[in-house]
């Protein structure tokens, strides 16, 4: 695995007072810190050398390990045969966000983790970089690899222009359905645009990806339209032949500890959203930052806090490395960025005079496995205290339970319940992605969007 780290000269910073401030770095430092960490192949030769390593497995483990089932050996073989159009088509036909996924997928636990070279103790094929190679060429050249069938006169509303919504819309449009997407933000892309570290995908890339996906035609995106605010499900049901809900999750789980309301406590979703939406210079970050959690979002928050100029970033996780939700690649990103990791630590109280000053943590130990199968953390009743001026909560996200219940959608703890046919309890209303699964990878949402679209097509063709 390659890491391209661009440290700015943090050591040059002489910070006297602890404070949460923005605009800590120069433009050059921001550019360096937020440059793409998964660099593309420099040239065709480099890509072809790597592509030629691929064994072209039959019924390939990499493909089986991809939630969207991209035919990986096929698209790699097409790179070796100089058929980049074909290669990009092979990727996009399974995963219309194949370009973005090549940048954000946790490939070490998906395709690359399954590569048979791992069984030879050899480096797996760099599938993500090869996928990035083909898809970026296609996107840069705006190759139109799909042709929309003539309009069949059916209209579908998609709520949310995130991975599941865009994926659903693209499949539907290909089949001649007229799709209108309603998106609460001012830009499309969802989690890809607003919820992932900027050094993985740039906002510009996200915008280009959305434009490329919708360039097939037949997809209209209405921005700043939020379900429950200025959009109602009932109206959509009335105006459209079917509705797909790809509204994601998005509410940060609270810690439920004293001091959570103090100034300087922020949630990771908002923190990352602001970096993506408002620009690096406007996002304030403390000198000594604690990040609660060890999922992908926690890593994105911690590394970006460091890259925004925080002097010290400490990540706290109540279990151990064996149970952490993030991949080892992600953990290494945090370590290489200089983040401290404290395992078996659970936040107990945040103290301070109006503003965050201290974080008191419980020392934990592992007990019996919990419902997730992982060993559960048990309080040892010992504590320790960190001096911090900012606490970023990244202890998971919860669904929009109230919104979902208010709309009469059957749900389980806020997660929309769908049947085998991707339908909700409301006829003609389908759902998929994080709103259903509670929050998985982008690639899972893309697959859910595809499945939702196929279900809608079946539904629309019913007599």
Residues that bind other proteins (CB under 8 A): 48-49, 51-52, 55-62, 64-65, 80, 114, 116-117, 119-120
Closest CA to 355 of 22, 21, 23: 21
Nearest residue (CB) to other proteins, 13 versus 56: 56
Distance CA(308)–CA(30), nearest Å, equals 7
- The whole-angstrom separation of Cα 96 and Cα 76 is 17
Q: Of 46 and 426, which has the nearer Cβ to other proteins?
A: 46
**What CA–CA distances, in Å, run from 304 to 271, 281, 320, 370, 449?**
9, 12, 22, 31, 29
Query: Quick check: helix, strand or coil at residue 344?
Result: coil
CB of 68 to other proteins, least distance (A): 14
Minimum distance of other proteins from residue 116's CB (angstroms): 4
Alpha helices (H) along 81-202: 84-94, 98-104, 111-114, 127-140, 163-174, 191-194
Give the residue from 24, 211, 75, 152 showing the smallest Cα distance to 457.
Answer: 152
Shortest distance (Å) from residue 53 CB to other proteins: 8
Tokens describing residue 158 = 């998609």
Cβ-based nearer residue to other proteins, 61 or 438: 61
Q: What's the distance, Cα to Cα, between the start and end of the chain in Å?
A: 52
Q: Which is nearer to other proteins, 119 or 234 (CB)?
A: 119
- Tell me the closest approach of the beta carbon of residue 222 to other proteins, in angstroms: 40
Q: Please, what is the minimum distance in Å from the beta carbon of residue 451 to other proteins?
A: 18
Nearer to other proteins (CB atom), residue 55 or residue 235: 55
Nearer to other proteins, 119 or 152 (CB): 119
6 is written with which tokens? 């661009």
H helix or E strand, kind and range, residue 460: helix 442-461
CA angle centred on 374, ends 369 and 375, rounded to 5°: 50
Of the pair 52, 278, the CB lying nearest other proteins is at 52
Specify the pairing of strand 411-412 against strand 415-416: antiparallel
């Amino acid at each position: 695995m390659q890491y391209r780290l661009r440290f700015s000269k943090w050591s040059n910073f002489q910070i006297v007072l602890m404070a949460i401030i923005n605009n800590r770095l120069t433009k050059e430092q921001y550019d360096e810190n937020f440059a793409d960490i998964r660099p593309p192949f420099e040239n065709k030769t480099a890509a072809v050398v790597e592509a030629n390593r691929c064994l072209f497995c039959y019924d390939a483990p990499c493909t089986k390990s991809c939630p969207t089932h991209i035919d990986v050996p096929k698209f790699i073989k097409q790179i070796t045969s100089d058929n980049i159009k074909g290669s990009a088509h092979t990727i996009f036909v399974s995963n219309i966000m194949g370009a973005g996924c090549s940048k954000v997928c946790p490939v070490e636990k998906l395709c690359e983790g399954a590569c048979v070279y791992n069984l030879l103790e050899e480096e797996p094929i760099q599938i993500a970089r090869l996928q990035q190679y083909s898809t970026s060429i296609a996107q840069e050249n705006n190759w139109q690899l799909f042709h929309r069938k003539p309009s069949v006169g059916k209209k579908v509303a998609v709520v949310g222009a995130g991975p599941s919504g865009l994926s659903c819309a693209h499949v539907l449009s290909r089949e001649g359905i007229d799709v209108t997407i309603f998106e609460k933000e001012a830009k499309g892309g969802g989690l890809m645009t607003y919820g992932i570290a900027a050094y993985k995908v740039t906002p510009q890339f996200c915008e280009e990806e959305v434009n490329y996906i919708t360039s097939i035609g037949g997809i209209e995106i209405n921005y700043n339209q939020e379900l429950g605010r200025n959009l109602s499900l009932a109206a959509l049901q009335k105006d459209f032949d079917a509705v797909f809900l790809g509204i994601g999750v998005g509410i940060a789980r609270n810690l439920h500890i004293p001091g959570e309301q103090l100034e300087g406590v922020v949630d990771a979703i908002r923190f990352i959203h602001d970096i993506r939406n408002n620009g690096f210079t406007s996002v304030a970050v403390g000198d000594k930052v604690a990040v609660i959690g060890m999922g992908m979002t926690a890593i994105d928050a911690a590394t970006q806090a460091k890259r925004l100029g925080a002097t010290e970033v400490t990540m706290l996780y109540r279990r151990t490395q064996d149970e952490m939700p993030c991949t080892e690649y992600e953990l290494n990103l945090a370590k290489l960025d200089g983040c401290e990791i404290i395992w078996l630590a659970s936040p107990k109280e945040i103290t301070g005079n109006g503003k965050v000053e201290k974080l008191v943590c419980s020392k934990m130990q592992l007990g019996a496995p919990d419902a997730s199968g992982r060993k559960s953390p048990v309080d040892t009743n010992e504590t320790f205290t960190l001096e911090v001026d900012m606490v970023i909560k990244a202890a998971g996200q919860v669904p929009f339970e109230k919104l979902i219940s208010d709309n009469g959608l059957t749900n389980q703890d806020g997660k929309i319940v769908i049947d085998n046919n991707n339908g909700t309890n409301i006829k003609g209303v389908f759902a998929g992605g994080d709103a259903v699964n509670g929050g998985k990878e982008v690639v899972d949402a893309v697959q859910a969007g595809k499945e939702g679209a196929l279900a809608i097509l079946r539904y629309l063709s019913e007599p």
